[in-house]
Amino acid sequence: MSDTGIKRRATVHDVARTAGVSLATVDRVLNDRPGVRAATAEKVEAAIAEIGFRRDISASLLARARDLALTFIIPDGTNEFMASLTDAVTRRAGQALSDRMNIETLRVRALDADALAQSLDGLDPRECDCAIIVASEEPSVVAAVDNATRRGIMVMTLVSDLPGSLRRRFIGIDNVAAGRTAASLLGRFMPMGGKLAVIAGSLHLRDHADRLKGFQAGLTAEFPQLELIGPVEGHDERPQTEAIVTDLLRRHPDLGGLYNLGAGNAGLVRALEGSGRSGQIRVIAHELTEPTRKGLHSGAIDVVLDQNPDGEIREAIEAARTLALDANGTAITDPIEIGIFLRDNLR
Amino acid sequence: MSDTGIKRRATVHDVARTAGVSLATVDRVLNDRPGVRAATAEKVEAAIAEIGFRRDISASLLARARDLALTFIIPDGTNEFMASLTDAVTRRAGQALSDRMNIETLRVRALDADALAQSLDGLDPRECDCAIIVASEEPSVVAAVDNATRRGIMVMTLVSDLPGSLRRRFIGIDNVAAGRTAASLLGRFMPMGGKLAVIAGSLHLRDHADRLKGFQAGLTAEFPQLELIGPVEGHDERPQTEAIVTDLLRRHPDLGGLYNLGAGNAGLVRALEGSGRSGQIRVIAHELTEPTRKGLHSGAIDVVLDQNPDGEIREAIEAARTLALDANGTAITDPIEIGIFLRDNLR
DNA sequence: GCTGCCATGAGGTACGTGCCTCATGACGTA
DNA sequence: TACGTCATGAGGCACGTACCTCATGGCAGC
């Protein structure tokens, strides 16, 4: 087979010729501008489908003569996971620049719905094409998301979703599945049965509640021989979690497993190592951060379930880029996987 | 703070002005064209660093007036993992098109080094900017890679690396770590000790050998109470693997664990289910494919270690795109993580 | 002072799309 | 008939980079 012809991608000119309309009309259809009869628009759509035209993102961004502006709004505070999310954004921002994307990060007070809503309301559609937020489930946030959407700012949710709002996409893991996974591992780690304690941050947090739900369901279905203690709430704080774990260890000398589905892992590790029983109890925690890494290395923690902040940021950026130019876009984005880390496959 | 000015990215014009040279000279430096004194080039580089200029990929690709051409060369045959790699390429090819990338897939006979070398030799630099190959470690392949590189075709390796060649990047997992991870999980699954069998495809394959190395090291270091049987070679084929597992089960009624670090998993599952002992033995296999998914669901397999073909393809494409425009590029690409899948976190 | 080579400048066109203005023709209504 | 509205066409400039041609000035060797 001799391939003589040089392959050329279809352009707007080809669409115009095929549809038998002018370039201006094609442009109006492509960019949802008014002044096109429905029948004409259909002709154009048909031509697009026929010749397989795909808008050239490079040229499109170039012609817009400005960058795609993304704004990440991330909870502030001492939460290490949020810090690593922010780090990931910063890291990506650099290389995103040469892809005509300008990324800004805003941090708002954690768990302060009104602060989040205000930040959203304060975004200028001329300076922000897409906002990516770690949502908390409050009416004021839903209203702010919907309002932003109406002003022309696309909103996506990260880590924690906001169903019922006009958010365009959710990027995060399935927390029920994460809880089930923890149950499945701990069950296999304790084939002889025994006692198993659960610690949560706060059951008012949607992701924590989901994890607990999955965990309990998994245990009941697969490992009924295990005796469940808790959940106890540690409010995601180091000292409180440390106290709780210390107390659990004291009261249950035969404790075989521990699942911390919230944060406060520095306290968890301290309590375990302080007890002298580190390594004898199978422990699962969440999020690959400094304390959990240390725990994995020392053997205090067996497994860490992780939602891969870097991957989430990558997906968010990619989704925003695609959606921004193709409103009814069918962007292929990878589902965020639940990462499972042992000491042996630490990245 | 009133932010009056509109942020504008630095362009080649800015570089020219800052360096005190003409646009043409900047262009020569940027694109490695001759006709620039070393001293002048340095001035330009300095200006680039000073104003933080980053070449605009969009405009660059546009101006080149042709797509980036990538060619994936993937082993042919019945190997399901290679099939899913190919699927991933096909899926990405579509959306890559609107990013000015034209992706082709070539399939060559598996384990046939000369066929791979010939394919590489046959690539035309005008029609292929970058080849991504699943390398086998043979001198003829190394020669072909180096030759392609000299002709101006960038080569990257996928899944299996080719150290000592001029390949620009390797994209794949750390197989030693994968083996260690398997040992770590199986060890925790069998706290009372017991017998543990290992099946490989062929120890002449580098990745298999690496996995075995990691597995043995992990067991020795952490779980010396486990008795290791094997490795037995199943040559990655279904019937052979089935026979081996059936035989192992028959000869070791007290077998507690099984690690298949190669392919042939359909045979593994059949043998387990045929024996009636499925679910009583802790089993770890590799690659999330149809047979291993079935095994996870039925409970025949406990854990699947996966190298995430889709992610690998994504990284390959991204790396190619970045490297193609920035030869000494410092592309941030994500390391390929070892995915750990249980029934409960199947994607 | 001539020739020839080299480094550099000046300026253009092109890539595919976005977005603007202006013209034109069709149609409906007062 | 006159006017307004609307769909559409025609054409052009802009975005930032690639790549081309041609001109110019310097410098070495003769």
> What's the CA gap between A147 and A117, in Å, rounded?
10
Same domain, B128 and B193: no
Q: Which chain A residues 22-41 have CB under 7 A to strand D?
A: 22-25, 28, 34-37, 39-41
Closest CA to B339 of A147, A291, A64, A335: A335
Q: Is B311 on the interface with A (CB under 8 A)?
A: yes
Q: Quick one: DSSP state of residue B192?
A: T
H-run or E-run covering B93: helix B80-97
Res B1: pLDDT: 34
On whether residue A60 sits in a domain, the answer given is no
Same domain, B223 and B275: yes
Q: Quick one: DSSP state of residue B345?
A: G
Same domain, A265 and A301: yes
Res A177: pLDDT: 92
The dihedral sign for the CA sequence A275, A280, A284, A287: positive
The nearest CA of chain A is from the CA of B344 a distance in Å of: 5
Which range of residues forms the domain containing residue B45? 3-54
Q: A142 beta carbon < 7 A from strand C?
A: no
On whether residue B59 sits in a domain, the answer given is no
Same domain, A159 and A112: yes
Each residue's pLDDT expressed in tens, for chain A with a length of 347 residues: 333 334 567 889 989 988 888 888 988 988 888 888 888 888 888 888 888 888 888 788 888 877 788 999 998 877 788 899 999 999 888 777 777 888 999 999 887 889 999 999 998 877 788 999 998 778 999 999 999 988 888 899 998 888 889 898 889 998 999 999 999 989 988 988 899 999 998 887 778 889 999 999 999 999 999 999 979 988 888 899 999 999 999 999 999 999 999 888 999 999 999 988 988 999 999 999 999 999 999 999 999 999 989 889 988 988 888 787 665 555 556 668 888 898 988 87
Same domain, A36 and A146: no
Q: Alpha helix (H) ranges present in B190-338?
A: 206-222, 238-251, 265-275, 290-298, 309-325
Q: What is the mean pLDDT of chain B?
A: 87
Res A273: pLDDT: 93
On whether residue B96 sits in a domain, the answer given is yes
- Which CATH number characterizes residue A33's domain? 1.10.260.40
pLDDT tens, position by position, B61-92: 888 877 788 999 999 877 788 899 999 999 88
Res B229: pLDDT: 93
Res B227: pLDDT: 94
- Which CATH number characterizes residue A262's domain? 3.40.50.2300
Same domain, A218 and A189: yes
Please report residues of A whose CB lies closer than 8 A to that of B334: 310-311, 314
On whether residue B134 sits in a domain, the answer given is yes
Q: Which distant-in-sequence residues (6+ apart) come within 8 Å of A133 by Cβ?
A: A72, A73, A116, A120, A141, A145, A155, A156, A157, A158
CA B242 to C1' C1 (Å) is: 92
On whether residue B207 sits in a domain, the answer given is yes
pLDDT tens, position by position, A85-101: 999 999 888 777 777 88
Res B4: pLDDT: 32
Same domain, A302 and A313: no
Chain C bases closer than 7 A to any CB of the protein: 6-12, 14-21
Q: How many other C-beta atoms are found inside a 10 Å radius of the C-beta of residue B133?
A: 28
Res A328: pLDDT: 57
How are beta strands A339-341 and A303-306 bridged, if at all?
antiparallel
Q: Is B314 on the interface with A (CB under 8 A)?
A: yes
> What's the CA gap between B143 and B228, in Å, rounded?
40
Q: Is A232 on the interface with B (CB under 8 A)?
A: no
Q: In total, how many domains does chain A have?
A: 3
Query: Above 90 in pLDDT, residue B247?
Result: yes
On whether residue A342 sits in a domain, the answer given is no
Q: Is B322 on the interface with A (CB under 8 A)?
A: yes
Task: Name the one residue in this structure whose structure tokens are 């003569």.
Answer: A65
Q: B9 beta carbon < 7 A from strand D?
A: yes
Same domain, B117 and B204: no
Same domain, A187 and A291: yes
On whether residue B42 sits in a domain, the answer given is yes
Mutate to test the interface with A, among B7, B103, B106, B337 (most CBs of A within 10 A): B337
Same domain, B112 and B161: yes
pLDDT tens, position by position, A262-306: 888 999 999 999 988 988 999 999 999 999 999 999 999 999 999
Q: Is B222 on the interface with A (CB under 8 A)?
A: no
Same domain, A302 and A179: yes
Same domain, A164 and A135: yes
On whether residue B346 sits in a domain, the answer given is no
